[in-house]
Chains A and B, each alone.
Chain A
């Protein structure tokens, strides 16, 4: 089944403790992206990747890192999480770029205390 998977689905952590949220797609998509969703603000793009080893900042990249060593994986790294990074995070992928339909993962609910 074609899908985007994320892990973990839920995470509660403390300020400053490094964490990684994994994202994997099995559709051989070139483009992958991370979003965060906050009430009243909609979805905002954190980082995106057009291809392996090519990543770029989205609208809200501060406090996040990403890497794209393999086509299928695009992990999101929070080196030193803070409470303002408490949010619902989505990974998404598309065939080539944003002009194609994006497929979203199931989301990761992160709480930083």
Chain B
């Protein structure tokens, strides 16, 4: 059965810290891995990583795909209170998108 596991499930840090969120997967016929940020309600798209694009960066956020280890990390540097959210990892296989449970990140001032 296809599976996506995120860790940690919850993380509390101070503003300015750097955090690393993890996502590991077992999905048949891997096509891409996606990261979403969910603040109040709807998830918003952050990155899509594929075999041809294993590293993405946008401002203080960056993500790397390790196809050998079947995993990905999402790094956030110099965290701000506005980074507080649930971060979702999802993996697209042959026909479907499988989501992880999410990591709840809290940034304290």
Contact = CB atoms under 8 A, between A and B. Distances in A.
Question: Dominant SS at the A interface?
Answer: loop
Most buried by B among A43, A58, A105: A43
> What band does the interface of chain B fall in when counting residues whose beta carbon is under 8 Å from A?
10 to 19
Contacts of A19: none
Given A43-B88, A101-B48, A90 B43 contact: yes
Interface in B42-94: 42-45, 48, 88, 90, 92
Interface in B26-49: 31-32, 41-45, 48
B96 A98 contact: yes
Interface residues of A, number: 18
Given A98-B92, A99-B31, A99-B92, A90 B97 contact: no
Top 9 A-B pairs, shortest CB-CB distance = A42-B99, A104-B42, A43-B99, A107-B41, A42-B101, A101-B45, A106-B41, A98-B97, A104-B43
Interface of A: 40-45, 58-59, 90, 98-99, 101-107
Given A90-B43, A101-B45, 20 more contacts: A40-B101, A41-B101, A42-B4, A42-B88, A42-B100, A42-B101, A43-B43, A45-B97, A58-B96, A90-B42, A98-B92, A98-B97, A99-B32, A99-B92, A101-B48, A104-B42, A104-B44, A105-B42, A106-B42, A107-B42
